A and B are shown apart, each in its own frame.
Chain A
């Protein structure tokens, strides 16, 4: 009898599985896509290598949805953001994107978190004719604009970050640098730009090292750099690896300064690098030094209110630029939703939202001031990034 019970268990399990998924698919069918609730999709990497970026993005979106719905929704329509985790995996990202588009039938998609995942769903989004506002850095996401009709993005381009860094290096009189980058999409993209643009700023790259996300030590790569005559090290990665580079440099008694990417604009970097974080210089958005931003800056109000709301919910000092990118992205989608006419079909709504997004002018977000146009789906002016130095565990603005 035991054996048969075990077998019935198998049958019951399968039936249960089917039943559960059946229940889940049921209610979806009845809802008309554009009636009462406005459904927006979000793809963030809340687990996996980019989780330090994805979690604040998700937190931000959830915070915004609560605020908007408490204030009555968008033109009376409740806002619902369906957030999926892509596990920093482009296969998963594509699956979830398809799910958002076909099953959840959302009006627009915010995210993904990483450049790699954003690039991976470009075709899907374009074929499905649904607008996407990415939270990733690579400029490839929105260029060439002719092929990126449906795609926008909010973070400053990696090209811009490199330009700021190189300009600073040039002003300070550096001529020989070593670069050390992560093999991730973000790091590799940064490396391409670092290599390509160095000469324009009078910089020679004397060493070019890479490391993997899973590595526990960058000492060997740094030892190699130490053996060259580099005057500074430029590291392009996100916070966890960046912190390790900083600490390893300190361990190896390397005297030359460390410059990082905007990927370390996160308190986790300071926590993990400890003492070694002091003296690190990197470009970042104004969220990191909100109080020092002059009142005349058009972004000031947005920065202060976002910082205050986020930290009220998640703790002091937790605000970071990644959450800010999600804030900018969802804000723009909400602005587009506010202009949305009633009674349009799903396809028409998506197209209308896309058009509205393209017409956004002078929107003061956390990352910069956005003016979208048919030839520019990033819409940011240069100067949205500032150089920041970490002093005594705090971010200070180098003016």
Chain B
């Protein structure tokens, strides 16, 4: 796009036509890239889903939990030199604690606030967390990169190459989803959480303390975000403002999951990731890397509108 000239908008150009075809290992490469990015979105989406299901709040600070997980694992693992496992677990724990603090200080004190006020509160909290992370006293403006778990030699799989850390990301997402499902269906606390999600008033009637459940939901969501950050940061680096876009994509993933089903959320996240990367691979017309983010959102809009018929009876 030349500056200063009267502009026309060329969506197509001759070279695009030629690069439309894709070889098998290229396809696999794009697919793997999509799976790994999608796993991150899925983890974030799970956090959104849990909080929303139990408290009906959209937690805009979800992306910041991811950022915190990543930044903390750098500080603990690299700057402080703690062993990898310790640094990782400690980062997740600290992030979970921050989530708890955020709930207790910001959410619980806002008694009987409207949903939109609570959303603004989470926005304020996310700005606060992001801002603190960006001050000179904390991490400043530079991006950081914790050590990869198992080295950074790329692994070849059938002609496609990935970093080993990517396998950790996908693995973490799978493991977390399975554990979460077990937690929600097999343990008492998990079932109580689900009860709150299904019908808060009935849950109160059977003796479940909603406030405690909300606290647990926040802790869980923060931990999920922290796990996402810990596994993702060695692969993609993290800086104080990484949280926003990740949170946005995770929000999209959670919406595809209807803010209810963890499995659907994960599928949603992976779908977005794969769509985005496939678009780059096609590289034809409006399906180029420039419009990568658009197509994920278009898929989302399509899903929303198709479902809006069924959603018409659901309360806001």
Contacts and interface: CB of A to CB of B under 8 A. Distances in A.
Q: Do chains A and B touch in the complex (CB under 8 A)?
A: yes
Interface of A: 46-48, 51-52, 55, 140, 183, 188-189, 192, 207-212, 214-217, 219-221, 223-224, 226-228, 240, 243-244, 247, 250-253, 268, 271-272, 274-275
A335 B37 CA distance: 52
Nearest to B2: A192
Nearest to B293: A212
Contact of A244 (B23, B141, B236, B289): B236
22 contacts: A192-B3, A207-B19, A209-B289, A211-B289, A212-B293, A217-B37, A219-B277, A220-B29, A220-B277, A223-B33, A223-B281, A224-B283, A226-B26, A227-B23, A243-B237, A244-B236, A244-B237, A251-B162, A251-B163, A253-B156, A268-B143, A274-B145
Contacts of A214: 242, 244-245
Residue from B30, B161, B293 whose CB has the most chain A CB atoms within 10 Å: B161
B280 interface: yes
Interface string B221-248: 0000000000010011101011011100
Interface string B245-282: 11000000000000000000000000000000100110
A240 B29 contact: no
Contacts of A192: 1-3
A224 B281 contact: yes
Contacts of A47: 134, 141, 241
B141 A52 contact: yes
Nearest to A220: B280
Contacts of B308: none
A276 to B, nearest CB: 9
Summarize A's interface: helix, strand, loop or mixed.
helix
B233 to A, nearest CB: 10
B152 A275 contact: yes
Contact of B142 (A52, A189, A223, A275): A52
B15 interface: yes
B152 A224 contact: no
Contacts of B91: none
Contact of B19 (A188, A189, A228): A228
Contacts of A189: 3
A47 B130 CA distance: 11
* 3 A-B pairs with the lowest CB-CB distances in the bound complex, closest first: A51-B141, A216-B236, A220-B280
Interface in B1-32: 1-4, 15, 19, 22-23, 26, 29-30
A85 to B, nearest CB: 11
A272 B143 contact: yes
Best-buried of A220, A227, A251 by chain B (most CB within 10 Å): A220
